[in-house]
Structure 1
């Protein structure tokens, strides 16, 4: 008998309580297990969505597979395991790397077969495409925010007075980050948590200051391009 994990999932607590969905999944997996000589151990996530893989029993199952406690995992339907192409492709890649089998009954997928491995390759291609599209949409969204003058990056943690002092030491006095850190320490300028001033802290402050300036310029440019803006300024 081959030790296999039978993974079951339903989205709602109602389905979990009345057994609908779980029983059907279990029956389909048991039938397949009888034909293939599997010794099944059940891992069940009742009332969890498939939007991601952060489900307690799925994580337990993956850990057990990583430790080679089972030969593989079987699910009745693909959407019981994942609705994300990226998550599924990542799981397939993980299975191939750790040498455990992944079986989906509907649509038919078995990583131990040539067709299953071919399907895994296609899933990886589509997952990469989805990652690139997400990255492109994120980049376009960030560029749009920058054009609107929205400051990107970490929220400012130091007061405007401290930022102004650091900027003055850098731009007017021409001091480097190490020298600025020493100067701030000598002036007993407080830091977050009372930690010493470091060049890396000064560098982050200057980077944030540059983002603030860029956002201010972008806002001014955006306002000047707004229809009627120049007319309003002239009338004022």
Structure 2
């Protein structure tokens, strides 16, 4: 088991008042899975992603990634753990405009003090896979949104993390670019990468193998795709969302 989330609760304190963002979240993820998390705004899905990403800590419960209790990582080791174990893909790309696309991708390896030859070898593996060979010496502002997201995905993968966390990865893209990114996620998963994606899009979620639905801070329901087509799975997801909204 790669990821284990057990009875996680998250409370935000503001003076005398409390906001319970997560009440009792419990699920696990095996290596090589592709899982989507869905829920209405305010359901707690972004809070959950922040906890998994080590950007925040749970108030109660535990999260283990690759056997490591996230709450037990020392403060001065968190950034290193994050770089080694977790890749991130964000809705707004989070690439740095003053760096070339090449340097954006290699940044995690630079921070890990890897040798230039190792970095170039890793980039030479990724670039053809993501179709970005012609983009490496350009800057983010010189390429399209879909291409920027490919650069961001390359950066997420470059350090060969145990899991990739994606937060609304198609939210800022048009339908054609969104489909290209989702096809890329499918291919990456087929290659063995473990993906966990938060999305509001049933079309995006239908590319996953399993969908978790979060409501009022708990996992309300889950669906497995099995042998269903994307279209059939999307219909089941939409039905679940309709029930969830009641």
Normalising by structure 2, we get a TM-score of 0.28
TM-score normalised per structure 1: 0.28
Greater gyration radius: 1
Higher strand proportion (structure 1 or 2): 2
Q: Which has the higher contact order (CA 8 A, sep 6+)?
A: 2
